[in-house]
Amino acid sequence: MRLSGLEDVWREEAPRVLAALLRRSGDLGACEDAVQEALLAAAEQWPRDGVPDNPRGWLVRVASRRMIDRLRSENARVERELRDHSLTPGAAVAPGADEAAGNGRDDTLHLLLLCCHPALTPPSQVALTLRAVAGLSTAQVAAGFLVPETTMAQRISRAKATLERAGARFDAVPARELPARLHAVRHALYLMFNEGHYGGTDLGDTDLTREAVRLTERLHRALPDDDETTGLLALVLLTRARAAARLSPTGDLVPLAEQDRARWDRLAIRRGTTLVERVLPRGPVGPFQLQAAIAAVHAGAATWEETDWLQICALYRMLERQAPSPTVTLNLAIASGMAHGPRAGLQRLQPLLDDPAQRRNHRVLAAAAHLRELAGDVSGAVEAYRAAASLTQSLPEQRYLNTRLARLT
Amino acid sequence: MKFVILIHSNPQPWGHPTGDFNAELQAQSPEVRAQMNAEFEALLSELSERGELVTAEALGDPATSTIYRWDGGPITSDGPYAESKEHFAGYFLIDVADRSRAEEIARQFASPGDTVELRPVMWPGGEDV
């Protein structure tokens, strides 16, 4: 069997196998190690003997055995912990093939809730989710973040240790905690998506946007009536639909206003738009649904100029009320500039320009430069382009801003 | 977010860690030096354990460098690059959650006789809005 086929089976089954083990022992670290060892065994045996009829049952059986072996060989400290957790090695024996992995829906949800536990920082939540839920190897996760494997391995093992110290368990989250915990999961998935989409896609070996979309799809399948999750799925689909158009053949960044919209992924746009339209009328409308709605309005416009800017302004104003942030104010200023002229946009932007905390924010300065250029204030635009270009850490953005600057000087 | 912590120093003779060879740190009492060493070791272990340390290198004596300039073609000469008091001595590449964490780390690299510079690393991505 080809290795890529093996990987597909593995990626599909790994989280379920992990969940099956976790249901018997709360120790994510030990379960994860056992699942990895089962994969190694599969990588050796399946190409030789063929893929078993029930790959999940096979993996659960092998992983359970590895866990028992390990438990038996470990010291008295672990024995004590086992008693505390009322886990005996016998209890970790694999279930029959017919009950191999339980309910797949709960597996994904509970695994995501565990990996996005509030004791972890968001970057650690993302790393652990990629490892334990998406089934990526540590090397693949490391490639996604352009760091060495040893650095990522440390980050992941620290995250597991933090979960253990926090007493995080793989079981039902109390109903009153669920909204906040789900919020953390969605936030981590969004962070994962952004890291891939905005992070320089041609460098890493790992497509983080694909993983984020896959995981969000799974979360959506587990919680079809959670409208913010639907909103997040729509948002990532609509944003990724633009991926092919956002970089020029030479790798330069193409702003939304100048993108070749024929290269947008129409299928993804249709799906994302349908999802937004389904949840918006239901209310209450959360931040991800609003951002998805904004992305859908952009996706529905034939050109930048023909965009329904009044509607985009209205959506940003709703977003500003719900989840105020400098980024939302900034985007509202840009949309106002398009809807009501550059002076209106600059007026909206002024509080950010006056805010000492935002003075080194290159995006605020870039927006000011653009609006001043539209308003005919060339010297003001030059000053802001120069400041924005020097402050950004994005190479393509810096190249773009320097090009705009050169055009005016 | 990735940052590089650049160490500029002038150890005499050239050596690493630079503090062992520069007069300002050697002028401190043995207790103070021992404590500073211990704190620095603890900082490095912490960075490594947290998965924040990407890589680090110590550089050779600036006298061993070769300088290339352009004057209608490459002109080669022996180093050091500049007659300044301090030279680029080594660097640490870190990957942290945000700038404030980077600043918190870089501050702890400060040591008598060294100048420590924190610079963000440019990244290949960007936003299209």
What integer pLDDT is reported at residue A106 of this predicted model?
60
Residue A93 has pLDDT above 70, yes or no: no
Task: Determine the Cα–Cα distance for residues A133 and A127; give it in Å rounded to an integer.
Answer: 10
What integer pLDDT is reported at residue A76 of this predicted model?
54
What integer pLDDT is reported at residue A271 of this predicted model?
97
Contact B52 A151 (CB under 8 A): yes
pLDDT digits over A18-37, tens only?
988 888 877 788 888 888 88
Rounded to two decimals, the pTM is 0.83
A145 to chain B, any CB pair closer than 8 A? The answer is: yes
Q: In this structure, what are the phi and psi dihedrals at residue A52, rounded to the nearest 5 degrees?
A: -60, 160
Residue A9 has pLDDT above 90, yes or no: no
More confident call, B85 vs A373: A373
What integer pLDDT is reported at residue A196 of this predicted model?
86
More confident call, A28 vs A322: A322
Q: In this structure, what are the phi and psi dihedrals at residue B75, rounded to the nearest 5 degrees?
A: -110, 125
Band of pLDDT at residue A75, cut at 50, 70 and 90: low
All structural domains of chain B: 2-120 (3.30.70.1060)
Which residues of B make CB contacts under 8 Å with A?
A: 1, 48-55, 95, 97, 120-129
Band of pLDDT at residue A98, cut at 50, 70 and 90: very low
pLDDT digits over A264-276, tens only?
999 999 999 999 9
pLDDT digits over B2-14, tens only?
999 999 999 999 9
What integer pLDDT is reported at residue A14 of this predicted model?
84
Band of pLDDT at residue A90, cut at 50, 70 and 90: very low
Question: How close B61 gets to chain A, by Cα (Å)?
Answer: 28
Q: Hey, how many other C-beta atoms are within 10 angstroms of the C-beta on A205? A: 10
* Average pLDDT estimate for B16-32: 91
Band of pLDDT at residue A2, cut at 50, 70 and 90: low
B29 CA to centre of own chain? 24
Contact B128 A200 (CB under 8 A): no
List the single residue in A147, A256, A393 with the smallest CB-CB distance to B122. Answer: A393
| A90 contact partners, CB below 8 Å, separation of at least 6 | none
What integer pLDDT is reported at residue B79 of this predicted model?
85
List the single residue in B49, B121, B122 with the smallest CB-CB distance to A154. Answer: B49
Which 3-state string (H, E, C) describes B51-113?
Answer: CCEEEEEECCCHHHCEEEEECCCEEEEECCCCCCCCEEEEEEEEECCCHHHHHHHHHCCCCCC
Biggest CA–CA distance in chain B, Å, is: 56
A241 to chain B, any CB pair closer than 8 A? The answer is: no
pLDDT digits over A99-134, tens only?
444 444 467 888 999 999 999 999 899 999 999 998
Please give the structure tokens belonging to residue B27.
Answer: 């002028």
A198 to chain B, any CB pair closer than 8 A? The answer is: yes
What integer pLDDT is reported at residue A46 of this predicted model?
87
ipTM score of complex: 0.86
Best residue in A151, A197, A304 to probe B by mutation, most B CBs within 10 Å? A151
CATH of the domain spanning A308-409: 1.25.40.10
B126 neighbors A328 (Cβ within 8 angstroms):
no
* Average pLDDT estimate for A359-363: 89
More confident call, A340 vs A100: A340
Band of pLDDT at residue A197, cut at 50, 70 and 90: confident
* Average pLDDT estimate for A169-197: 89
Contact B51 A155 (CB under 8 A): yes
A108 neighbors A11 (Cβ within 8 angstroms):
no
Please give the structure tokens belonging to residue B32.
Answer: 């103070």
More confident call, A192 vs A25: A192
Q: Considering only CB atoms, which chain A residues are within 8 Å of B3? A: none
Task: Determine the Cα–Cα distance for residues A247 and A202; give it in Å rounded to an integer.
Answer: 10
Share of chain A above pLDDT 70, in %: 89
φ/ψ region of B110 (left if φ > 0, alpha if ψ in -120 to 50, else beta) reads beta
A306 to chain B, any CB pair closer than 8 A? The answer is: no
Q: Whose CA is closest to A336, among A367, A295, A300, A373?
A: A367
Q: Among positive and negative, which fits the CA dihedral A102, A105, A109, A115?
A: positive
Contact A393 B123 (CB under 8 A): yes
A39 CA to centre of own chain? 25
What integer pLDDT is reported at residue A368 of this predicted model?
97
Q: Considering only CB atoms, which chain B residues are within 8 Å of A120? A: none
Whose tokens are 């992983």? That residue is A63
What integer pLDDT is reported at residue A80 of this predicted model?
53
What integer pLDDT is reported at residue A398 of this predicted model?
93
What integer pLDDT is reported at residue A85 of this predicted model?
45
Residue B20 has pLDDT above 90, yes or no: no
Residue A358 has pLDDT above 50, yes or no: yes
pLDDT digits over B51-94, tens only?
999 999 999 999 999 999 999 999 999 988 888 889 999 999 99
Q: Write down how long chain A is.
A: 409
Strands B74-78 and B2-9: unpaired
For chain A, the structural domain boundaries read 1-102, 104-218, 224-302, 308-409
What integer pLDDT is reported at residue A195 of this predicted model?
86
Average pLDDT over chain A reads 87
| A83 contact partners, CB below 8 Å, separation of at least 6 | none
